[in-house]
Amino acid sequence: MQTILIVNLNDTGGETEALRQMLERFNYFVCVRNIGRPNDFIEVLEDKTPINPDFVIISCHGEDGKIHMPVLADFVYTENEPKKDFSSNEIELYLRLSGKTIINLGCATGIGKLAEMFSKNNIYIAPNDYIEANAALFFTIRLFYELTSRNCNIKDAYISARNTDDETKQFCMLPDSPPNPV
């Protein structure tokens, strides 16, 4: 049984719970990690979670190639904890995940250096623009439907899910040819 880790950053309108329920119906073992502070996300990036997921889904808000982080009161941050949204700089600094398929649902997180950093040792799928939230949810469900019910490889499942409509066409996959089909 394959394992999925859903990383829940901020309020994405029930996206995490909807995904969890659908993915469990497809017989995946699904874990949810709620992110309350930047250090929680760093633990995921550094591969310090108690599970070894095949897939990591990042349910978040994004903007201009950055992932929005929870905002805390200044006195709550620990020493050296980042106090800003995560750009390619933070991903490069902390990312230790390797050999995973990472799906980021945040707007404009599939562009530039952020996408480049995530895709160094992973398959990275994310929108290159400001996508409708319903389309991001549908894309992900369709992707896993294709993987599970139709036994597609990751590239064929991605193409099928991406070609649904103009919104889902915003999803990019890096590298273009996955090194290790799932």
The separation between the first and the last C-alpha atoms of the chain, rounded to the nearest angstrom, is 13
Reading the chain (182 residues) residue by residue, the pLDDT tens digits are 999 999 999 888 899 999 999 999 999 999 999 999 999 999 999 999 999 999 999 999 999 999 999 999 999 999 999 999 999 999 999 999 999 999 999 999 999 999 999 999 999 999 999 999 999 999 999 999 999 999 999 999 999 999 999 999 999 999 975 544 43
Query: Cα separation of 101 and 121, whole Å?
Result: 10
Q: Is residue 14 part of a domain?
A: yes
Q: Within a domain: residue 180?
A: no
CATH of residue 101's domain is: 3.40.50.1460
Residue 25 falls inside a structural domain: yes
- The Cα 165–Cα 140 span in angstroms is 14
In a domain, 59, yes or no: yes
Tell me, yes or no, whether 181 lies in a domain: no
Is residue 135 within 8 Å of 167, Cβ to Cβ?
yes
Dump pLDDT digits (tens) for 124-173. 999 999 999 999 999 999 999 999 999 999 999 999 999 999 999 999 99
- For residue 179, tell me if it sits in a domain: no
- Rounded CA separation 44/129 (Å): 24
Question: Does the residue 114 lie in any domain?
Answer: yes
* 3-state secondary structure string across the chain: CCEEEEEEECCCCCHHHHHHHHHHHCCCEEEEEEECCHHHHHHHHCCCCCCCCCEEEEECCEECCEECCCCCCHHHCCCCCCCCCECHHHHHHHCCCCCCEEEECCCCCCCHHHHHHHCCCCEEEEECCCCCHHHHHHHHHHHHHHHHHCCCCHHHHHHHHHCCCCCHHHEEEECCCCCCCC
- Specify the number of domains making up the chain: 1
The domain of 93 spans 3-174
Position 182 in a domain? no
Size of the chain in residues? 182
Token duo for residue 16: 């995490």
- 100 contacts 123 by C-beta, under 8 angstroms: yes
